[in-house]
Each structure stands twice: as C-alpha cells, then as structure tokens.
Amino acid sequence: MSTAPANTFAGATRLVDYWATVYRRTWKGSAISSFVTPLFYVLAMGVLLGDYVTDDPSQLEGASSYLVFIAPGLLAAQAMQTVFGEVTYPVMGMVKWQKTYFGMTATPLSVREVILGHLGFVLFRVGLTCGVFTLVMAPFDVFTTVWGAVLAFLVQFLVALAFATPIYAFSAGLKDEAPFALVFRLGMIPLFLFSGAFFPIENLDRPMEVFAKVTPLWHGVDLTRMLTLDTVDWTTALVHVVYLAVLAAAGWFWAVRRLTKRMSS
C-alpha cells in the first residue's frame, strides 16, 4: 500500500507552527468577521427582518419561522465567505509578493504538503467562525436536535473544501490580482443571493432554479437546513455530500497542478 497520502499529511503537519504564528499575529484583523458579524447577521436578518416575514411552514421548507429558515443558510454562507477571504489574495501573496511558498518548497516540503498545510489553516478558520456562528444560533432555538446541530457544524468543513480547493487552484495560477474583483462580484455575491439562504429557490424562474441547484453553496445550504430542521432525506443528503466531495477532490488535483506550474514558470 502506498504511503504517499500519509507522507503528505505528515509533511503538512510541519507547517502547523508557521500557521499558528501567522494567526497569533493577525487574528485581530479577522476578529470582527469571525466573532461579531455572525451575531449581527442573525439579529438583523433573522430576528429583526424575520418579524416582518410570516408564512406557513410549508412555504419555508418546514421551518417554523423565518429565523429558523435563514439561520442554516447564513451558517453555510459564512463558511463560503471565510474561504473566499483565505484563498484569494493570501494565496497570491504567498506566490507573488512574499514568495513564502518558494521558501517552503526550498526545504524538503513538497507542493502537495504546502497546499495541504494552507488548506488545513483555512479549515481551522472555518471551524472557528462557524463554531461561533453555531453557538450564536443555539439560544434562538434554531436547532431541532443536538445531533443536528453537531452535524450541521461538521458539514461546513465539507462546504469549505468544496470552495477552497478550486478557488485556491484559480488563485495559484494568476499573474496578478485583477480577476479577484470579478470573483467576488460575479462569483461570491450571486452564489450567496441565489443559494436558497434567504428564500426557497422554488420562487425563482425555472432556469434560475436549475442554475441555483448546480451551485455548491445551494447543496451546502440545503444539507445544513435539513440537519438543523431534522428533516433529513438521506438520498438527497447523500447527493449533496457526493457533489461537494467530488468538487473538493477535483479542485485538489487542479490546485496541485496549477501551483506546481506557477512556481516553475
């Protein structure tokens, strides 16, 4: 049996000290987005706006209130937004500006180990922000069961990977940062708006509904919502998991190829 994956993981763990140092020095810059924004999202969109939205639970995918409906979508969107912030400009910086990756690969570390180490830090950030978000939502009786809350939180790591690997690959091969403006404006924002986080996508026109259902965030939102409401359709849930896992795996191989090529050019 090949030990390549195990060796890659072992090599990536050597970067834990580096990423821990980075976070100790920079965590204050992300404190608002990590710890304060989740509370404001829930209060503004779920509690304040939610008071004006009254509808039959059958029109809100079984949610008893708009707050209960919107909270799972905001949780999944938080995972996506955290990823966008961590694998766009930071990746380019480590290739083009600080050239940190070149220093890392000048040691026995491989490109795969460097990527895995960085993605591990991204998952740490996602776990921290989504963990806070989950705790913020708990007092509002959003979760039907404890196991649903735990699984909904864990799903965010899969959602994060489904975005992190392909966006990382895209960032790693860029020559300059100009395309990032389009990534945020024409990528992240439309994904957020048409993910089903704010309203059931059945309210969209048929072409837009189909578009929404092929986006990774909709799969993450729908899976998270099923778990929080305890309305899991296991066949649909399996489709969501497979879709997100395949996207993450495809993005991984693309990322390795793109970064290897970028650093050798």
pLDDT digits (tens, 9 = 90+) for 88-141: 999 999 998 889 999 999 888 999 999 999 999 999 999 999 998 898 888 888
Task: Name the domain count of the chain.
Answer: 1
pLDDT attached to residue 69: 87
Q: Tell me how far apart the alpha carbons of residues 154 and 146 are, in angstroms, rounded to a whole number.
A: 13
> Buried b vs exposed e over 233-244: b needs ≥16 C-beta within 10 Å?
eeeebeebeebb
pLDDT band at 57 (very low <50, low <70, confident <90, very high): low
pLDDT tens, position by position, 1-51? 344 676 888 888 899 999 999 988 888 777 776 777 767 777 776 666 666
| Spatial contact of 59 and 166, defined as CB atoms under 8 Å apart | no
Q: Tell me how far apart the alpha carbons of residues 159 and 126 are, in angstroms, rounded to a whole number.
A: 10
Q: Tell me how far apart the alpha carbons of residues 99 and 94 are, in angstroms, rounded to a whole number.
A: 5
pLDDT attached to residue 58: 58
Residues of the domain holding 9: 4-264
User: Is the four-CA dihedral 83, 84, 85, 89 of positive or negative sign?
Assistant: positive
pLDDT attached to residue 259: 94
Q: Tell me how far apart the alpha carbons of residues 89 and 188 are, in angstroms, rounded to a whole number.
A: 14
pLDDT band at 53 (very low <50, low <70, confident <90, very high): low
pLDDT attached to residue 2: 42
pLDDT attached to residue 216: 94
Name the residue with tokens 């963990």.
131
| Spatial contact of 86 and 160, defined as CB atoms under 8 Å apart | no
Q: How high is the mean pLDDT of the chain? A: 87
| Spatial contact of 164 and 88, defined as CB atoms under 8 Å apart | no
